[in-house]
Amino acid sequence: MRHRVKGRKLGRTASHRKATLSALATALIKHKKITTTVAKAKQLRLVIEPMITKAKTDNVHSRRIIARSINDKDIIKELFTEIVPKIGDRPGGYTRVVKLGNRLGDAAEMAIIELVDYNDVSSKTKKTKTTATAKPKTAKAKVDSKSKEAATVVEAEEIVDDVKEVETHEEAKKVVETGGDDLTKVEGIGPKISEILSTAGFPTFATLAEADVEKLREVLAEAGSRYKSHDPETWPAQAKLAAEGKWDELKKWQDELDGGRAKE
């Protein structure tokens, strides 16, 4: 029985769950909008909204309390100096969750969580869906498959307009459905590590390409001892080639790697 047990465990231990939510909160403050699972998005709201309310009182005590969850000084500064002045007049409800559908592979329900005063994805998506799929009041004919496909493409373009290197409608749809790029194309990254990296704020090839190797090692260490043996030394470079679409060059390099590591 779950007497007085609140919240979602997210399939993690207490320390891992705390690290996951800390990484998600940091990413949300930095990017103002992130893609994750619905369960994580709902749990993140329980963390980030009280944090923003606390930040309305700018003093040493408030900053120290928030620093327990956010380890990045620049992110804390951005929260107090940029975000709170813009949305501080709200009595609450600083974030919104927009569901995207199920992710390919494990069918996890995905969603975008965003700061309401910085993004208008929800209204765009609703407007696009209504315009593209609404039936005429005087007609009983169903929307044909081509119309549905067109609606999906338009919706994908509205949601991922800030994702770089998306050149075709099919690529845009894939990003929406999966919540990010297929990081398993980077040698050394499996499905579980891909999920860990996405949760930590590296859901695409572009974000992984800019990641610091030591930061990636910290993320793996926080995920558990079983991931410490993985070496992310070549991951950013591989991700950069993938982000630039240099698949032949990436494949040729991967043939020279040993499980994602440079051969000695």
10, exposed or middle or buried, with CB in 10 Å at 0-12, 13-18, 19+? middle
Q: Is 144 helix (H, G, I), strand (E, B) or coil?
A: coil
pLDDT at res. 174? 46
In DSSP terms, which residues pair with 218 in a beta bridge?
A: none
Question: Could you state, in order of their start, the residue ranges of all structural domains in the chain?
Answer: 14-98, 120-167, 183-262
> Under a CB-based contact definition with an 8 Å cutoff, are residues 188 and 235 in contact?
yes
Report pLDDT digits (tens) over 187-237: 888 888 888 888 888 888 888 999 998 988 888 888 888 887 888 889 899
Q: Cβ contacts of residue 43 below 8 Å, gap of 6+?
A: 7, 8, 10, 21
Residue 135's pLDDT is what? 46
Does the pLDDT at position 152 exceed 60? no
User: Helix count (H) and strand count (E) of the chain?
Assistant: 13, 5
Alpha carbon 17 to chain centroid distance? Answer: 16
Phi and psi torsions of 151, nearest 5°: -65, -40
Q: Is 113 in a helix, a strand, or coil?
A: strand
- Hey, what are 109's tokens? 């329900």
Question: 14-98 — its CATH code?
Answer: 3.90.1030.10
What's the rounded mean pLDDT across residues 161-190? 58
